[in-house]
Structure 1
């Protein structure tokens, strides 16, 4: 990304309808990650959007907080949780300034990392470092540059470069990210608007160092 999208873009997306990244269910890659034991201790779902992953993890008994910079997203997430009768916790927060007052053993980023321009990405990863317990884990699911342009995309080098000093990048594998095709992507995918599509994505696991 050359320029990080504005807050208003995301807030307006939730106010005007269902954004293309809201599929009404958790991402399959995150469901599998949980089944593989990827979440422990206190969990932060950063850029939680409509709250599908916070709701999933709450239902499964995790101590989890979902945060998003867009107030409309948090309203959507709370309504979503209430409709499913799940007492999930959500808050409005700036992902680039999470602070260290509360630290988390596991942080989940599903489709947030890839929206940041390079300078903002560095600030974001520093914020994750501050909010993560020493020895804690950050999982990043991000759209790959091998995709069709469904949304902002990042390369393997982008991820490796971001999680350098202060981190150990333990795993970086290819997976998929599921989204809903909008009118703007009909030609690229050759499928009608409203269709679900699984796009190439990266799933990274980074462990915070002790310093």
Structure 2
């Protein structure tokens, strides 16, 4: 199966632990800090909750995802929330630099975005250093100098679900061409994966089947 087909299946079968019907509390609080500015890109937007949130608050934001099923889900989600004008597109986060409307021509000559919001995409590449490097290069190509990248990623500091990473992975991934301004512990809210209670042993699960797990929240400036 291709990467897109794998992610399509998650949405088609409604098994995505990150689809919780609302934005991440950490992202809601992040928006209040005033560090999301200008034209905003959300790669790996999934169900579209943050793109919907930011659009409703007046931001110029585009949500993109590799999986057509995710984009369809996000569009339907926006319509259901009374926000049909929210913008979503299918795009591969590992090939954004090839889009002149994102990165200019030649790639990186005219980055289009002032802020990038990555909620639970970066950690997917946590065990794939080469793929992660490609992703970071693509982020650099589409983010304007001085722009900010915000990363909310699952942490390996305690039990949880999904791919989890250490703070070292974030620190070592953003070196040349970047300045790591802040990296701190946070929480990530997800649905408890069916049949996997051991992965969240000891954590409080809400009556709705939601659990807050350890995460990292990073603010990284593109030089």
Fold match (TM-score > 0.5): yes
- Report what 2:89 is aligned to: 91
Alpha-carbon separation, structure 2, partners of 1:110 and 1:80:
17
- How many angstroms does 1:149 deviate by? 3.6
Give deviations 1:142-201, integer Å, cap 9, x for gaps: 000113140101111100000000000000000000000022321333459961110000
Q: What is the root-mean-square deviation in Å for CA atoms of aligned residues?
A: 1.6
- How many angstroms does 1:110 deviate by? 0.1
- Report what 1:204 is aligned to: 218
Moved over 3 A (4+): 190-194
TM-score by length of 2: 0.88
Query: How many pairs are equivalent?
Result: 205
SS at match of 1:183: coil
Greater CA drift, 177-186 or 104-113 = 177-186
Q: Which of 113, 116, 120 matches 1:111?
A: 120
Alpha-carbon separation, structure 1, partners of 2:31 and 2:19:
19
Stretches of structure 1 that go unaligned for 5 or more consecutive residues are none
Alpha-carbon separation, structure 1, partners of 2:6 and 2:191:
17
TM-score by length of 1: 0.93
Stretches of structure 2 that go unaligned for 5 or more consecutive residues are 98-102, 105-110
1:124-135 equivalences in 2 (<5 Å) = 124-135=135-146
Contact preservation (8 Å) 2:160, 2:200:
no
Alpha-carbon separation, structure 2, partners of 1:208 and 1:183:
39
Alpha-carbon separation, structure 1, partners of 2:195 and 2:141:
37
Contact preservation (8 Å) 1:183, 1:193:
no
